[in-house]
Amino acid sequence: MPGTNIDYSTIFNKTLPPPSNKWQGHPKYNFIGGHSDPKLVPMDSFIESAANVFTGDPRNIAMYNFEGGPQGILSLRNFLVGKLAAERGIDVSAEDILITSGSGQAIELINEVLLETGDTVIVESFTFSGALSYLRQRGVNFIGVDTDDHGIRMDHLKGILEGLKLEGIRPKYIYTIPTLQNPTGSVMSMERRYQLLNLSEEYDVPIFEDECYADLIFEGEYEKAIRALDDSNRVLHIGSFSKSLGPGLRLGYVVASWDVMSRLLSRKTDAGTGVIDQMIVGDYFSKHYDEHIHDMRSALKRKCDVLSAALREHFGPLVDFEEPRGGMYLWVKLPPETDSRAYVQNALDEGIAYNPGPDWSANPDAAANYIRLCFALPSESEIREGIEKLAKVFKL
């Protein structure tokens, strides 16, 4: 006699988000997420680095947290010490770095040790959709601060901080993506980085600096990280290898002083980020970082140019966007009456995926006529074809 199936819907956690749809595979014209170009993945060198790893000490695989302890493999953290000093001006030791399973885990660990339901944080008006989702899931209030081509508008931020102070509310942090901001691609000026530190001191609010895309400068040098300017332990800094190598590696990191690091470690209960990935990346980047990142930046710059040209050809003056100084995405403004959410399914029917603007905004309705287009994954011909088809979907 067959038994009666359990109705799990009666016992699910009541705070769960809506269920996911079954995955249908990648669309042909994929302009979403933070994918990398498969042609830029250095498989031959990875194989060489993997061979070096597998001829090393087997205790790194046989034991929890062997070489480097719970903060991550020492070779990778030592690489980061040099890279952060050379490229971002951040002077730290390996003891100040925690390797995480992607930057998403880094964000959630910081949220875990700082936030409680009902807390308040400040975010940029347009910002990383994942960060907003994490805050919503925790029941945290977030306030969007206005930005322009030079980053956060400090006059608006000061007004927000002063208003909250009068209400007796101390925000837990100011979350910013100052270098190649996601999704706008802007870079915060040095003047404003110093102003942000001054406001952090005046109102006693930490800065949460997310630099996941800072490696992807097209040419020249960018402004130093805010963490590099900080001499008062006011900045928590995170970064990622997912954008410079590939998101499948799931490697990110946090830079923090021991008073915070010790709490992050107490909440990182995953028994450690994957050792093999850490060791292979540490071996590969210690030998090939400069040539790899040069190739990555050059390829992304070419694709950015192709996407920009395709948008101008097929959308014409009806769209507005700023070509970024680096990164892998464009933030595109459509005519004001357009709601980008209404065209998502029609685009998918044509094999095109894009990110609607409201997902990337602290005030979703204010971004209804924006779309985010990531250009790293599709080929140059797919970018041209996809944008031509997308213009027909929007009928602009």
How confident is the model at residue 2, as a pLDDT? 65
Q: Taking residues 76-100, what's their average pLDDT?
A: 96
Average pLDDT, the chain: 94
CA distance 231 to 189: 19
Under the banding of pLDDT at 50, 70 and 90, the label for residue 249 is: confident
**Are 112 and 86 spatial neighbours (Cβ–Cβ below 8 Å)?**
no
Under the banding of pLDDT at 50, 70 and 90, the label for residue 61 is: confident
Strands in 281-369 per DSSP E: 329-333, 352-353, 355-356
Averaging pLDDT over each range in 21-30, 33-42, 137-146, which range is the top one? 137-146
Residue 336: strand, helix, or coil: coil
**Are 228 and 190 spatial neighbours (Cβ–Cβ below 8 Å)?**
no
Q: 238, 260, 240: which is closest to 248 by C-alpha? A: 240
Q: Which residues 6+ apart lie within 8 Å of 33 measured at CB?
A: 247, 374, 377
Based on its alpha-carbon atoms, the radius of gyration of the chain, rounded to whole angstroms, reads 22
Buried b (16+ CB within 10 A) or exposed e, 150-164: ebbbbeebbebbeeb
**CA torsion 291→292→296→298, rounded to 10°?**
10
Higher pLDDT, 3 or 351: 351
How confident is the model at residue 132, as a pLDDT? 97
**Are 372 and 355 spatial neighbours (Cβ–Cβ below 8 Å)?**
yes
pLDDT of 88 strictly over 80: yes
How confident is the model at residue 396, as a pLDDT? 66
* Each residue's pLDDT tens digit, 111-138: 999 999 999 999 999 999 999 999 999 9
Indicate whether this model's pTM tops 0.85. yes
How confident is the model at residue 5, as a pLDDT? 85
Q: What residue type is 236 in one-letter code? A: L
- 297 to 31, 268, 328: CA distances (angstroms): 18, 33, 9
Burial class (CB in 10 A: 0-12, 13-18, 19+), 361: buried
Q: Which residues 6+ apart lie within 8 Å of 49 measured at CB?
A: 280, 281, 283, 284, 287
pLDDT of 66 strictly over 80: no
Q: 105, 99, 109, 108: which is closest to 278 by C-alpha? A: 99
C-alpha 93: how far from chain center: 23
Residue 18: strand, helix, or coil: coil
pLDDT of 63 strictly over 80: no
How confident is the model at residue 31, as a pLDDT? 97
How confident is the model at residue 62, as a pLDDT? 73
Q: Taking residues 148-160, what's their average pLDDT?
A: 97
Q: Taking residues 329-355, what's their average pLDDT?
A: 96
Q: In sequence order, what are the beta bridge partners of 371?
A: 332, 356
* Each residue's pLDDT tens digit, 259-284: 999 999 999 998 888 888 999 999 99
CA distance 356 to 347: 11
Buried b (16+ CB within 10 A) or exposed e, 378-396: beeebbbbbbebbbebbee
pLDDT of 317 strictly over 60: yes
Complete domains list, the chain, with CATH: 8-43+290-394 (3.90.1150.10), 57-288 (3.40.640.10)
CA distance 62 to 156: 53
Phi, psi of 328 (to 5 degrees): -145, 25
How confident is the model at residue 1, as a pLDDT? 54
β-pairing, 252-255 with 97-100?
antiparallel
- 121 to 139, 166, 196, 323: CA distances (angstroms): 11, 16, 15, 29
pLDDT of 60 strictly over 80: no
